Amino acid sequence: MEQENIKSNGRILLVEDEFNIAKLFTYNLAKAGFQCDVAVNGREGYELAEKIKPDLIISDVMMPEVDGHEFRRMLLNNPELKQIPFVFLTAKGEEDDILQGYDLEIEDYIIKTSSPKIVIAKVSAILKSLEKERVKVVDEVQKAADSMGTKVVPDDFPLFEGFNIKHWHIPFKSIPGGDFIDYFKLDEDNIAVILGDVMGKRWGAFYFAVAYAGYVRSAARFVLESSNDYQPSHILHKVNESVFKDERISEVFITLSVLILDKKNKTARYSGAGDLPLIYRSDKAEKIISKGVLLGFSHSGEYEDVEIKLKSGDKLFLFTDGITEARNKSGELYGEERFLEFVSNINNEEDPLDQIQKEILTYCGGEMDDDLSLISVNVL
C-alpha cells in the first residue's frame, strides 16, 4: 500500500529525443501510476521543469541542442531545481560515462534496454527514499521548533471589537517553514497584524527558516513593546535596522507586511517590505502596493504608510506568494490578477476566508509548492 501511494503522487519529467523510447517509457510509467511529462531536449526540459516542478527527472544523455550533461548543469545552477532528484537514461554503460554523471550529483543511471520492471523499481525506490528523508526532516524540524518554543503561526484568531480577523496557513510538505503570522494588541483601540515570509527555502533550509522567522517576529514584537509609535513604516524601519546590522540574517530575503487596525477611528494603516500587495475590497477590489524593499536589503528601506478609511463590509487581505504561485496540473500559476478578480467577486453573505480556501485548493488540487499563508480582515 505504501508503494502505491508513492506512485500515485509521483510526477516524472522525461527528457528524451527518440520518439519510440519516450513513448515506451511514458506508457510503462503511466501504467505504474506515475504522471509523466515529456521534453525532447535539455532546453525544453529546463523550461518544463521550471513550470511543473516534477518529483523526479529522467533525462537522456545524448540529445540535440542541449545534451543531458549540460541540462543537468543548468539545473544545478538553479537553487530550486537542483533539489529535484535526477536520473540519467543512457544506452551506454562505460565507466567514464557513468562517473561523469555522478560528478553532476545524480541519483542513478537507467540503461535504455532495461526491462520495464527494473525502470519502475528504480523510480519507486528513489521516490520512496525521498519520502523517508522528508518524514525524517519533518520530524527533526518539528522537534527543533518545539525545543526553541517557536510558533510561527498562532493557534487562535485574535478577538478585536469591530473586526473579524482570521488566517489560513498550510506549511509546505507539512514542514514548519518560513511564513509567519503574528498579532499584537497595542492598546484598547489598536492591534498590529503581521505577515512575513522567509524566501528561497527548501528542505535543507527549513531549520534556518524557522529560526529566521522567529528572529524577525521577535524583533517586530520588541519594537512594538518598546514604542508608542503606531506607524507601520516606523516599525518596519526599526526592524529593518536590526536585520541589516545582524550579519547572520542580513543576506536572507525576508518580506514583511504590517497592518495596524484602529477600531476607534475605523482606519487601517499599512506598510510593507518587499511583500505582495495588500488587497482592499470595498465596492470593488484593488491592490495597494508598498514600495519598501526586502528586510535587510539596504539600511534605508524607504517604507511608507498608506491609511485606509474603513466602513462596515470592507475587507482586507494580506498573503504570501504561496497563494499567487499555486499551480494547476498544467503548471500554470494562479497569479495576482486572478486572485484580485476572485476577491472582487466574493460573496458577501459567506465567509471570505472559506471561499478563498476552496478556490485555491481546487485550483492546485491540494498540491502546494510553498508555504501558503493568508490573513483576512472583515470590517463589521
Domain boundaries, the chain: 2-144, 149-379
| Number of Cβ atoms within 10 Å of the Cβ of 311 | 8
Helix (H) or strand (E) holding 326: none
Max mean pLDDT range (150-154, 210-214, 218-222, 344-348): 344-348
Grid cell digits, residue 318: 494580506
Query: In CATH terms, is domain 149-379 a member of 3.60.40.10?
Result: yes
Rounded Cα distance, 360 and 326, in Å: 7
Reference 375, options 166, 154, 161; nearest CA is 166
pLDDT recorded at residue 216? 73
Residues 328-362 have pLDDT tens digits of 888 889 999 999 999 999 998 899 999 999 999 99
pLDDT recorded at residue 174? 59
pLDDT recorded at residue 81? 87
Mean residue pLDDT across the chain: 83
Residues 232-268 have pLDDT tens digits of 998 898 888 887 877 666 566 788 999 999 999 999 9
Residues 180-202 have pLDDT tens digits of 898 988 889 999 999 988 865 44
pTM of the model: 0.65
Just give the CATH number of 2-144.
Answer: 3.40.50.2300
Helix (H) or strand (E) holding 209: helix 206-225
> For strand 179-185 and strand 159-160, is the pairing parallel, antiparallel, or unpaired?
unpaired
Is residue 213 predicted with pLDDT exceeding 70? Answer: no
Answer for the pair 58, 13: CB distance below 8 angstroms, yes or no: yes
pLDDT recorded at residue 281? 96
Reference 377, options 102, 60, 173, 158; nearest CA is 158
pLDDT recorded at residue 296? 80
| Number of Cβ atoms within 10 Å of the Cβ of 253 | 16
